Amino acid sequence: MISSIQPESFPTSLTYLNLCCNDILSIQPGLFPTSLTELNLCDNDISSIQPGSFPTTSLTWLDLSGNDISSIQLESFPTSLTKLNLCFNLISSIRCGMFPTTYLTEVDLSFNEIESIPITFFQRISSLCILENTFSCEPTTDPKAFPSLKELGARNFVLNLEF
């Protein structure tokens, strides 16, 4: 089982990498080739991600489910991401600017410990799964708060909207 990753461990032309079910503890900048488009790091022991750890121009799909991530720093994820899976972690809060909003359309935050989420988080998201979190959205008076949301998977979710 892999417990750490060394810089330049992978071919520079690599586009898909599956490192799930290992003992990886953390992710630092410079570990992955810039050609990478899909990265699976599910079911490891990752507790922290440093900003700039992922390729910024090519990575579109990232699976970090089943880790020990409790907090996310701003700018931890590349703006090129379209799909992000963070289910089964220990995340307790979502802040504005935590996720890239340029292309991100599908997010899975199920089975975390999230208590609140900013309403602006929904601006471009078309598919959001938030099963088994006990939180509520910040109130909004703007009926256009969810302009792109087409699919919502939610249980134990209180949506407090005042129109």
Of the candidates 121, 129, 118, the one whose C-alpha atom is nearest the C-alpha of residue 157 is: 129
Least confident of 74-83, 99-108, 128-137: 128-137
Average pLDDT, the chain: 83
How do residues 1-59 score in pLDDT, each as one tens digit? 898 888 889 999 999 999 999 999 999 898 999 999 999 999 999 998 888 899 878 99
Structure confidence at residue 141 as a pLDDT band (50, 70, 90): very low
Q: Show Cβ contacts of residue 1 under 8 Å, excluding neighbours closer than 6 positions.
A: 21, 22, 23
Of the candidates 2, 32, 36, the one whose C-alpha atom is nearest the C-alpha of residue 16 is: 36
The top-level CATH class assigned to 1-163 is: alpha beta
Q: What is the mean pLDDT of residues 80-91?
A: 94
Structure confidence at residue 155 as a pLDDT band (50, 70, 90): low
Q: Would the pLDDT of 152 be above 70? A: no
Residue type, 125: I
Structure confidence at residue 150 as a pLDDT band (50, 70, 90): confident
For residue 147, count other CB atoms closer than 10 A to its CB. 12
Q: How far apart are CA 136 and CA 120, in angstroms?
A: 13
Q: What is the mean pLDDT of residues 105-124?
A: 82
Q: How far apart are CA 155 and CA 163, in angstroms?
A: 22
User: Residue 117 has what pLDDT?
Assistant: 76
Q: Would the pLDDT of 162 be above 50? A: no
Q: How far apart are CA 75 and CA 79, in angstroms?
A: 9
User: Residue 58 has what pLDDT?
Assistant: 93
CA angle 97, 153, 16 (to 5 degrees): 65
